[in-house]
Amino acid sequence: MSLAHPLWLLGTLAVLIPLLIHLWSQKRGKQVAWAAMKFLPQVDHLRSRGWRLNHILLLLVRCAMIMLLSLILTGLFLKNPPFSTDKKIIHLVETDSQLLANFAFELEQAKTAGECVYGIGQKDNSFEAIADFDKIISAPHWISALHELEADEVHLYLSSTSFLLPKQPIDLPYPIIFHVYDKLDQDFVVQKKLQLPNNQSLFISQSGELTLDESNSVNAIKNIPISKLYYAHDFTIQEEINTIHSMIRSIEEVYDLELEEAGEGLNSTRIKLFFTDQQPEKVETEVLYFVFGHVGHPSHPQIIQLAERPHPSSKWVKDGTLPERILDGLLQHLGLEKQSSQLSMAQIKAHFNTPSETKASNSFPLKTFLFVLLIIFTGIERSMAIPRQL
């Protein structure tokens, strides 16, 4: 943030306000020759006359306050510039028809504003109508082309499944504004799904959500048939037992999984899930252990450790995340994993080191300093003004 920034200079014009007020208050009152002086209240003789020193000091403090305020406000505006003055902005667009359709408006806007729009990848005639690129950068060379771009700001349009991202994070001299399009892969195939006994299936969709398919219509590469799951627990406190039961019931209701308590306890051979608060001495095959109230790395892949106890006062019970945590472990045990290739905005950003972020973190203490200074000046101003009733 340069001190000569036009916005700040504009802000400093506000210094005129206290100056004008000062001059106005210096203005002499209407002159009246008066005889009945005795009856005029004897108030503030201090403010009677002239450019007193303390008046000028107060004026300076007030001017400084305005300058600081305008500095701080300018800083705020510069972070989100209200208007781009003569910045050179380049739009880099992955040539993908869905992406182009999604950002057609933005690109049209950019074109009307006279900004450069470069395509990355093979030119495809199908979307030529949407955006007429100024230049096409071929996909293999675009990373090196990035370094050569002379721009103040680059807008990068990528799809979330983009193959264009660099392997290593690269340093760039200009800030990048990312526009990520969450592209749905048409070729997406469900890898695994759980075949539920009642002709339903449970799988993880492309967007990473656990989905219940009632008509059993989705094809999957691997079907895992699943029957009724028996579970047992060794809790003795009634409240904790209730929590376990209600948690099981909620999983049942939402995802149609059939879970049933095995009456016989741990000795039953049918049980698949076991809820306990102690580390199991012996791990049975095909049994998944949920150990409550333990922290640390589990000693066996069939043991899932949970930090909180299933008591109603526990944090997870309160915020309702306990069934989710149990279900996560259960699905993983059953072989249903997230397989999304979608990249989030943060993941894409992590591939680029841009100056905007480092700059923001650097200017933070300066801003705090200015703010503290403003508070100090306000204090000084008040302490000077209040005793004199100015």
Partner 1 sequence: MTHQALELIRLNNLQLVAKIVSDAMWTGLHWGKRIGSGTEFEQYKHYEPGDDPKMIDWKLFARSNRYQVRESNIESHLNIRFLVDGSGSMNYKEDGVSRLDYVKILAASLAYLGHQQNDKMSLFVLQNGQMEMKVPAKGHSFQRILVQLESLKAEGKWGNMDPDLPELNSRQKELIFFFSDLFQIDEEWIRLIQSMVSNKREIIIFQILGDHELDFSLKKGMYRFEDLESNRTVELQTKQVATAYRKSISHFLTDLDRELNLPRVRLFRCRLSDPVENILLAYLTSKQKKS
Shortest Cβ 62–partner 1 spacing (Å) = 21
Q: Exposed, middle or buried: residue 180 (CB in 10 Å: 0-12, 13-18, 19+)?
A: buried
Q: Is residue 167 a contact residue for partner 1 (CB under 8 A)? A: no
How many chain residues touch partner 1 (CB under 8 A)? 21
The contacts of residue 51 (CB under 8 Å, 6+ apart) are 26
Query: Binding segment for partner 1 among 28-36, 154-162, 192-200, 261-269 (CB under 8 A)?
Result: 28-36
d(CA 58, CA 54): 6
Of 27 and 167, CB closest to partner 1: 27
Q: Is residue 388 a contact residue for partner 1 (CB under 8 A)? A: no
Among 30, 167, 282, 297, which residue sits at the site for partner 1 (rule: CB under 8 A)? 30
Among 4, 28, 80, 365, which residue sits at the site for partner 1 (rule: CB under 8 A)? 28
Q: Is residue 40 a contact residue for partner 1 (CB under 8 A)? A: yes
Q: Is residue 45 a contact residue for partner 1 (CB under 8 A)? A: yes
Of 45 and 297, CB closest to partner 1: 45
CA 214 to chain centre: 34
Q: Is residue 50 a contact residue for partner 1 (CB under 8 A)? A: no
First-residue to last-residue Cα distance in the chain: 35
Query: Binding segment for partner 1 among 40-48, 122-130, 138-146, 224-232 (CB under 8 A)?
Result: 40-48
Written as one letter, the residue type at 312 is P
Q: Is residue 33 a contact residue for partner 1 (CB under 8 A)? A: yes
Q: Is 208 left (phi over 0), alpha (psi -120 to 50) or beta?
A: left
d(CA 220, CA 199): 14
The contacts of residue 352 (CB under 8 Å, 6+ apart) are 166, 169, 170, 172, 176
Shortest Cβ 389–partner 1 spacing (Å) = 11
Of 3 and 37, CB closest to partner 1: 37
Q: Are residues 289 and 307 in contact, defined by beta-carbon separation less than 8 angstroms?
A: no
Q: Are residues 315 and 134 in contact, defined by beta-carbon separation less than 8 angstroms?
A: no
Query: Binding segment for partner 1 among 13-21, 29-37, 271-279, 359-367 (CB under 8 A)?
Result: 29-37
Q: Is residue 389 a contact residue for partner 1 (CB under 8 A)? A: no
Binding positions for partner 1, rule: CB under 8 A:
27-43, 45, 47-49
